[in-house]
Amino acid sequence: MFTGIIESVGTLRKIERLGDDIRLNVASNKLDLSDVRLGDSIATNGVCLTVVECLSDGYVADISAETVSLTGFAKYQVGTRVNLEKAVTPTTRLGGHMVSGHVDGVATVDDRQYRGKAIEFWLSAPAALARYIAHKGSITLDGVSLTVNEVQDNRFRLTIVPHTATETTLESLKAGDKVNIEVDLIARHLERLMTYTNKEAPQPESNVTMDLLARSGFLR
């Protein structure tokens, strides 16, 4: 689990193609790796990756074909900058929102404008994900926890304050760029609960009858 508060911007140092899968060598820059062990999770541009090799200044992680198909990693190159966040601990401040690191898809940057010192982006999400994006709701963009300021069909507007822009890769985004998005975790689970029919999940038979209720004094 992550918060979407980026700790460092790293760089893809090596990309190895293993059939449909990918092995990444990530230079971690200022990310503190002193407490990272094999098997730990690090969100890399919003994708929860498992560390398979610890390096003094980075880590190695594998990406499955499934993850490649749902994210921008298929087009990343050596030198691409990526947002990094280690998994939360019981004492971590939850400064963003609950982020799983399981990317739902890729959105496209439609427009970029400055509003004062902040950067305002309009993005288009895949139609299937649009229903999870709500005004003033949360969304994760390349691993960064952000608030949605406006929604129009499958398009949504984000405002990036200067600190977030300079401490992440978002400052370099331009129209036409693709970004990994993860919609609100709670919204997805609520939809599943609401659409899961009784036919799909038969309810156990009840032994409560009208006669039993009457004899128990609940009916007059």
What are the structural domain ranges in the chain? 8-86, 105-195
Residue whose structure tokens are 């200067």: 162
Q: What is the pTM of this model?
A: 0.84
pLDDT top residue among 74 and 196:
74
Distance CA 121, CA 113 (A): 7
Distance CA 119, CA 116 (A): 8
List CB contacts of 146: < 8 A, sequence separation 6 or more. 4, 138, 139, 140, 158, 160, 164
Pick the CATH number of 105-195 from 1.10.530.10, 2.40.30.110, 2.40.30.20, 3.10.590.10: 2.40.30.20
> Mean pLDDT, the chain, as a whole number?
90
Secondary structure letter of residue 154 according to DSSP: T
- Give pLDDT, residue 211: 75
79-88 average pLDDT score: 96
pLDDT tens for 164-209 read 999 999 999 999 999 999 998 888 888 777 777 555 556 566 676 7
Question: Which residue(s) pair with 68 in the sheet?
Answer: none
Decide if 180 contacts 103 (C-beta within 8 A). Answer: yes
Give the least confident one: 13-17, 87-91, 165-169.
87-91
Closest CA to 27 of 63, 58, 69, 66: 58
pLDDT tens for 36-66 read 999 999 999 999 999 999 999 999 999 999 9
List CB contacts of 58: < 8 A, sequence separation 6 or more. 10, 13, 25, 26, 27, 28, 33
90-95 average pLDDT score: 80
Name the CATH topology of 8-86.
Elongation Factor Tu (Ef-tu); domain 3 (2.40.30)
How far from 93 is each of 32, 47, 88, 97, CA to CA, in Å? 17, 20, 8, 10
How far from 196 is each of 128, 193, 201, CA to CA, in Å? 18, 5, 7
Backbone angles phi, psi at 199, to 5 degrees: -65, -35
Decide if 35 contacts 132 (C-beta within 8 A). Answer: no
Half-sphere exposure of 22 (CA within 13 A, CB side): 21
